[in-house]
Amino acid sequence: MGAGDFESRWLRPDVNAVWTRFLQVTHRLEHHIDRRLQDNHGITHTQYEILVRLADADERALRMSDLADQIVTAKSAVTYQVNRLTDMGLVHRRKCDADNRGTWVTLTPAGLERLEQAAPCILSLVRELFLDDLNCTQSAELDKLLGTWSDNLDEHERNPVRHPEH
């Protein structure tokens, strides 16, 4: 199912319906995860993702810029979230010794504990709302689609295509 000619200003109705449904489902899934984490563990999904990335990092620490790259968000948004996590005692910030421009973010023991408490909650919700209703064939198809989209995004980031504004 192609979207039509490249220069078209609008998607075909059937393609637009698929795109709209994709956006609605991903936003609703994100909303449910975010609300469950906030209600049960006092952190947002973005904050949870920051804790996960730090837990997986060497010495449970990352430079702020690397953290932003890993969770695919603006550095200012990561700064805001890290400030909130710092206020909660879940992470610690410090200037980089090698250069004063960078900042290291380190997971605290309290942050690791919060992550370990929140993980079963989020994993059960992901299973309940996303994974349980997929059979093996659907899961493989979805994985293939996600791989295609990821490859397309990687290629675009390496070689951005500039389009004239209409």
Whether 106 contacts 54, CB under 8 Å = yes
C-alpha torsion 49→55→59→62, nearest 10: 0
DSSP designation for 98: S
Find the range with the poorest average confidence among 26-35, 99-108, 134-143: 99-108
The pLDDT score that the predictor gives to residue 2 is 55
- Asked if residue 7 has pLDDT above 80, the reply is no
Whether 29 contacts 125, CB under 8 Å = no
Q: What average pLDDT does the structure give for the chain? A: 89
Three-state secondary-structure class, residue 69: helix
Q: What are phi and psi of 17, to 5 degrees?
A: -65, -40
**Under 8 Å CB-to-CB from 1, ≥6 apart: which residues?**
14, 15, 18
**pLDDT tens figures, 81-90:** 999 999 999 9
Of 45, 46, 53, 112, the closest CA to residue 79 belongs to 46
**pLDDT tens figures, 104-137:** 999 999 999 999 999 999 999 999 998 999 999 9
